[in-house]
Amino acid sequence: MAELRWHPLLRTWVIISSIRQDRPHLEVDTRCPFCPGSGKVPDDYEIYAYPNDFPSLSPDPPEPDIPGDELIPVRPAYGRCEVTLYSPEHDVTLPELPLDHVARLVDHWEQRYRELGAMPGVDYVFIFENRGRAVGVTMLHPHGQIYAYPYVPLRLQVEMASAAEHRERTGRCLICDLVAHEKTDGSRMVYERDGISIFVPPFAEYPYQVYVIPDRHLGSLSDMDPGERLALAAAIRKITGAYDSLFGVPFPYMMCMHQDPTDGGEYPWWHYHIEFYTPQRAPDKLKFNASSETGAWATINDTRPEEKAAELRELVRRQ
pLDDT, one tens digit per residue, over 274-300 is 999 999 999 999 999 999 999 999 999
Q: With pLDDT > 90 as the criterion, what percentage of the chain qualifies? A: 91
pLDDT exceeds 80 at position 23: no
Range of the domain at 11: 2-318
pLDDT, one tens digit per residue, over 219-254 is 999 999 999 999 999 999 999 999 999 998 899 999
Average per-residue pLDDT for the chain: 95
Query: Domain holding 259: CATH number?
Result: 3.30.428.10
Which of 49-63, 106-120, 215-229 has the lowest average pLDDT?
49-63
Integer Cα distance of 81 and 77 in angstroms: 11
18: exposed, middle or buried (Cβ count in 10 Å: 0-12, 13-18, 19+): exposed
**Helix runs in 95-143, H state only:** 99-117
pLDDT exceeds 80 at position 126: yes
**Are 316 and 242 within 8 A, CB to CB?**
yes
Q: What strands lie across the sheet with 189-193, from one edge to the other?
A: 48-51, 80-85, 143-149, 124-131, 253-258, 273-277, 210-214, 196-199, 189-193
Give the active site residues. 143
Give the number of residues written for the chain.
319
pLDDT, one tens digit per residue, over 65-100 is 999 999 999 999 999 999 999 999 999 999 999 999
Closest alpha carbon to 148 in 5, 47, 263: 263
At 18, the pLDDT band (50, 70, 90 cuts) reads: confident
Total number of domains in the chain? 1
At 22, the pLDDT band (50, 70, 90 cuts) reads: low
At 25, the pLDDT band (50, 70, 90 cuts) reads: low
User: Which 8-state DSSP code applies to residue 4?
Assistant: E
